[in-house]
Structure 1
């Protein structure tokens, strides 16, 4: 696939393959297209050329395929005034099988009050909260973009342990 923003080509003739049940890391300097690739795969933006498929089906033409993918990152997905519990309930509506009990368990481990408003969280806790949601969705493909942005060392370690366990 190919993706440009204005005259700047970010991804050009990129082709990749991800195996299920495997952890990958996308490494590269700022601006080389890592986030763009995640946005393309998750259907947040569209490729200029090419297509993204999952098991041979074009993702953007197949709602069931999109439901198998979840992406979180530095992009803001939630309104600041929303309470965390509201975001959890909304996520559960979109993803049947979403593990609310695991959310509560992780929130306790990370010391997050689920009655808090999303906008009142620090950058690190916004990241942790989105990471928690991603660990609790019943999706085969989960993409984390900057999964430890602003997160302190202790919580980074806890996140990595939970990621491996899940």
Structure 2
């Protein structure tokens, strides 16, 4: 795998290739959709396809901030938690995909250049994290891969309910 003139091998290549594959599944799920379709909810949940793209980009970005600066960096920019799974007025699927691509490029560059995947930071305090636990950059990448994969599956269900297309089946 290459990232801007740097060949990445070994564990880093494996992690980035796996993440790229699941990003690709998610992008494939929204191919050919209009903005209206991408914003439509097809289940009882708040999830829509454009909102999932927006959410996964935000999650990846925030975890990469954590990887280099810890919990404080992760929450450094306020998030619109109420609307993180929705496409808002004025948002387009193309714009959300472009933003996701920018986040992906920054993640890939960061993983290529970080000196140590074992570098770790204490997790933010939250009921879903073990108190006092720390995550390494490696663990953060595994979490981002899992998050992306999980939401690619959600997107596949939403797309099938939207127009019958099965992107992962």
Length-normalised TM-score, structure 1: 0.29
Structure of greater relative contact order (alpha carbons < 8 Å, 6+ residues apart): 2
Length-normalised TM-score, structure 2: 0.28
Between Structure 1 and Structure 2, the one with more strand by share is: 1
